[in-house]
Amino acid sequence: MAARRPTRQTIAFGQEVIRLRTEASLSRLDLAERAAVSRSYIAQVENGTTRCRRDFAVRLDKALGTDTTLADGWDDIVKSSAYPRFFADFPEAEASAAFLRAFENTLVYGLLQNEDYARALLKDDEAVAARMRRQSILSGDDPPTLCVVLDESVLHRLVGGPEVMRSQCEHLLAVSMLEHVKLQIAPVAYYPGVHAPFTIATQENGDRIVYLATLNGGHTSSDPADTLYACKAFAALQGHAHSVTESRILIRKVMEEKWS
3-state SS of the chain?
CCCCCCCHHHHHHHHHHHHHHHHCCCCHHHHHHHHCCCHHHHHHHHHCCCCCCHHHHHHHHHHHCCCCHHHHHHHHHHCCCCCCHHHCCHHHHHHHCCEEEEEECCCCCHHHCCHHHHHHHHCCHHHHHHHHHHHHHHHCCCCCEEEEEEECHHHHCCCCCHHHHHHHHHHHHHHCCCCCEEEEEECCCCCCCCCCCEEEEECCCCCEEEEEEECCEEEEECCHHHHHHHHHHHHHHHHHCCCHHHHHHHHHHHHHHHCC
Model's pTM, two decimal places?
0.68
Which of 32-36, 125-129, 160-164, 167-171 is predicted least confidently? 125-129
Query: Is the per-residue pLDDT at 5 higher than 90?
Result: no
Residue type (1 letter), 148: V
Class of domain 8-78 as given by CATH:
mainly alpha
pLDDT one-digit tens code per residue, 203-239: 888 889 898 887 666 778 888 888 999 999 999 999 9
Place 60 in a pLDDT band, splitting at 50, 70 and 90.
very high
pLDDT one-digit tens code per residue, 11-22: 888 889 999 999
Query: Is the per-residue pLDDT at 3 higher than 80?
Result: no
Predicted local distance difference test score (pLDDT) of residue 59 = 93
As a whole number, mean pLDDT of residues 138-165 equals 95
pLDDT one-digit tens code per residue, 164-212: 999 999 999 999 999 999 999 999 999 988 989 999 999 888 889 898 8
What are the residues facing 200 on neighbouring strands?
A: 101, 210
Question: What is the share, in percent, of the chain residues with pLDDT greater than 90?
Answer: 58
Predicted local distance difference test score (pLDDT) of residue 217 = 65
Predicted local distance difference test score (pLDDT) of residue 79 = 52
Query: Is the per-residue pLDDT at 156 higher than 60?
Result: yes
> What is the C-alpha to C-alpha distance for residues 18 and 82, in angstroms, rounded to an integer?
26
Query: Is the per-residue pLDDT at 6 higher than 80?
Result: no
Place 77 in a pLDDT band, splitting at 50, 70 and 90.
low
pLDDT one-digit tens code per residue, 237-251: 999 999 999 999 999
> What is the C-alpha to C-alpha distance for residues 55 and 139, in angstroms, rounded to an integer?
31
Predicted local distance difference test score (pLDDT) of residue 80 = 44
> What is the C-alpha to C-alpha distance for residues 230 and 209, in angstroms, rounded to an integer?
10
Q: Which residue has the higher pLDDT, 10 or 226?
A: 226
> What is the C-alpha to C-alpha distance for residues 239 and 218, in angstroms, rounded to an integer?
26
Domain spanning 85-258 has what CATH number?
3.30.870
As a whole number, mean pLDDT of residues 35-42 equals 90
Query: Is the per-residue pLDDT at 1 higher than 60?
Result: no
Predicted local distance difference test score (pLDDT) of residue 155 = 98
> What is the C-alpha to C-alpha distance for residues 118 and 131, in angstroms, rounded to an integer?
8
178, 193 Cβ separation under 8 angstroms: no
Where do the CATH 1.10.260.40 domains begin and end in the chain?
8-78
Where do the CATH 3.30.870 domains begin and end in the chain?
85-258
Predicted local distance difference test score (pLDDT) of residue 142 = 86
Distance of CA 88 to the CA centre of its chain: 8
Place 92 in a pLDDT band, splitting at 50, 70 and 90.
confident
Distance of CA 158 to the CA centre of its chain: 24
